[in-house]
Amino acid sequence: MAVRSSRRSRRAVIVGGSMSGLFTAAFLRRIGWEVDVFERSGVELVGRGAGITTHPELLAALEQCGAGTRDLGIEVEKRIAIDRQGRVIGERPLRQILTSWDRLQRLLRETIDPAHYHLGRTFERLEQDGQAVRVHFAEGGIEHADLLVGADGIRSGVRARVAPEVQPIYSGYYIWRGAPNEADLSRDTLESIFPYFVFFLPERQQVIGYPISGLDNDLRPAHRRYNFIWYQVGDAQQLQRMCVDENGHQHDHSVPPPLIRRDLIAQMRADAEQIMPPAFFDCLRHIAQPFFTPIYDFSAPRIVLGRVALVGDAASSSRPHMGFGVAKAGGDAQALALALAAHDDIDAALAAYEAERQPIGERIMLHGRKLGTHLGVGLKTDEDRKMWKRLQDFEAMMDWIAVPNFLAACR
Ligand SMILES: Cc1cc2nc3c(=O)[nH]c(=O)nc-3n(C[C@H](O)[C@H](O)[C@H](O)COP(=O)(O)OP(=O)(O)OC[C@H]3O[C@@H](n4cnc5c(N)ncnc54)[C@H](O)[C@@H]3O)c2cc1C
């Protein structure tokens, strides 16, 4: 195989145009690399996920890559825990900015010249010769680069080509979620929970909510939304049944929201009526299209394979209890660029990147499992059971879930 390499102007092909792909493009451009991003979606990525908790590491990465943090989101002053009747049973002052996936996408997307962001291009396979990479796309076309960055998420096709043995692991629980409009919520809901990061913690479940901007990053009162997340336990067989869609088609890992079976949604709403405090039930009632997301995690033992570097969820993905995935994506991208700037030799730079970030990804994943013990699934060790017991206290949950600086604390 003859692979063309260019040393004068170094070039990276980035597969995946979401958080980690955009961060990587922004940071690599800053060190003088030529970068092109290839995203399989044929249309601009909007409306994915919903709420994103922020951390100091994410804010720093946004500033340092040039995206900035303007109009990032809504700042809450405190966390509260409520009981079934909606009474406040605990409180923690903690200022935190809650943003949305759309806002981050917009800020990061503006850092990339549209001519270098290619929609409707699906990675298919690669060839590499130790010096350079040749990247093939399903729609046709081949790109040559000094480096291929796999930023294509938890089910990364790039990773599947270079490390097919690495597979995400189902946690044994899933979440129902959605984001009702502020304008639809009752006065009581607006006063009692809307301004806060709120926890309701029935046995083996978690309901968490916080305010986020409205569509088009509308931050005006009455135009915002409330991010609603409900964790429930369900084994692999139950998940498989849930993944049969409205038309009877079996999906592998999740079902596109419009195709989720109506009987599942009806059952979920009926279950909610039995256990939810009135304000959370009000939120759920006003979610037009609730959808579920099964929770998986994994950490790849190698995140550099020749001239392929994995970043973001393609490299490791944790359960979302820390709300740190996008911050990790920014950190991976920044570390990759710093290593490439510090070493003239690309392979030495990639080795430095892997040595720094692989252990961090693994640590984050393990921390997510620790926090996941709250749900009481797969408790194997005494340490798991100790942590499970500790997290049965809502005060501990407020101290551990999605808090800033957890990485330093869990060293
Ligand atoms: C329920 C839930 C809640 C979360 N909450 C938070 C939170 O509060 N805070 C936080 O920081 N993080 C949170 N996360 C995690 C966060 O969403 C992810 O860590 C982050 O989106 C990872 O970004 P990524 O770019 O690496 O991957 P992705 O966002 O998955 O993007 C991968 C991209 O690659 C594209 N792609 C895939 N295959 C190909 C291909 N073959 N060719 C071309 N393109 C391809 C996809 O279309 C996609 O656009 C949450 C996750 C979940 C599931």
In this predicted structure, what is the pLDDT of residue 6? Answer: 44
30 residue type, one letter? R
Atom of ligand 1 at shortest range from CA of 324: 11
How far apart, in whole angstroms, are the C-alpha atoms of residue 159 and residue 206? Answer: 32
- % the chain with pLDDT above 90: 91
* Predicted confidence (pLDDT) at residue 410 exceeds the cutoff of 80: no
pLDDT tens per residue, range 43-58: 777 766 688 999 999 9
**Amino acid (1-letter code) at residue 6:** S
Instruction: Find the mean pLDDT for residues 265-280.
Output: 97
Centroid of ligand 1 to alpha carbon of 314 (angstroms): 9
Residue burial 124-138, b: 16+ Cβ < 10 Å; e: rest = bebebeeebbbbebe
pLDDT at 100 over 60: yes
Q: Structure tokens of 369?
A: 């499992």
Residue 223 makes CB contacts below 8 A (sequence gap 6+) with 181, 182, 183, 214
- Tens-place pLDDT, residues 106-161: 999 999 999 999 999 999 999 999 999 999 999 999 999 999 999 999 999 999 99
Q: In this structure, are residues 324 and 364 in contact, taking their beta carbons and an 8 Å threshold? A: yes
Which residue among 19, 48, 96 has the greatest number of ligand 1 atoms within 8 angstroms of its CB, and so is best to mutate?
A: 19
**Mean pLDDT of the residues in the chain:** 94
Atom 4, ligand 1: which residue's CA is nearest? 320
Q: Give the model confidence (pLDDT) of 147-175 as tens digits.
A: 999 999 999 999 999 999 999 999 999 99
CA of 383 to the centre of ligand 1 (A): 30
CA of 173 to the centre of ligand 1 (A): 19
Fill in the amino acid letter for 313.
Answer: D
The pLDDT of residue 409 is 65
pLDDT at 411: 54
Q: Which two tokens stand for residue 223?
A: 């135009």
> pLDDT, tens digit, for every residue of 328-346?
999 999 999 999 999 999 9
Separation between Cα atoms, residue 254 and residue 257, nearest integer Å: 9
And the tokens for 53?
A: 């908790």
Pick from 49, 26, 47, 76: which is nearest to 217 by CA? 47
Look up tokens 């060293």; give the residue. 411
| Contact criterion met (CB below 8 Å) for 86 and 278 | yes
Q: Which residues line ligand 1 (CB under 6 A)?
A: 15-21, 38-41, 45, 49, 52-53, 122-123, 151-153, 157, 175, 293, 312-314, 320, 323-327, 329
How far the first Cα of the chain sits from its last, in Å, is 45
Asked if pLDDT for residue 370 goes beyond 60, the answer is yes
CA distance linking residue 383 with residue 98, whole number of Å: 32
User: What is the pLDDT, as a whole number, of residue 406?
Assistant: 81
pLDDT score, position 8: 62
Residue that is written with structure tokens 């500790």 in the block = 390
Q: What is the mean pLDDT of residues 232-246?
A: 97
Instruction: For residue 380, name the pLDDT band (cuts at 50, 70, 90).
Output: very high
Q: Say if residues 69 and 108 touch (Cβ distance below 8 Å).
A: no
DSSP state of 3: -
Q: How many CB atoms lie within 10 A of CB 141?
A: 12
Judged against a pLDDT cut of 80, whether residue 88 lies above it is answered with: yes
- What pLDDT is attached to residue 47? 66
- Name the band, by pLDDT with cuts 50, 70 and 90, for residue 347: very high
The pick from 27, 112, 118, 152 for probing ligand 1's pocket by mutation, whose C-beta has the most ligand atoms within 8 angstroms, reads 152
Q: Which residue has the tokens 């599942």?
A: 264
d(CA 230, CA 283) in angstroms, rounded, equals 11
- Higher-pLDDT residue of 43, 103: 103
For residues 159 and 306, what is the distance between their CA atoms, to the nearest angstrom?
Answer: 12
- Give the closest residue to 104 by CA, choosing from 22, 15, 219, 181: 22
> d(Cα 98, Cα 211) in Å, to the nearest integer?
7
Of 164-168, 252-256, 356-360, the poorest mean pLDDT is in 252-256
**R_g of the chain, CA atoms, integer Å:** 21
Kindly give the distance from the C-alpha atom of residue 368 to the centroid of ligand 1, in angstroms, as a whole number: 16
- What six digits make up the tokens of 302? 């190698």
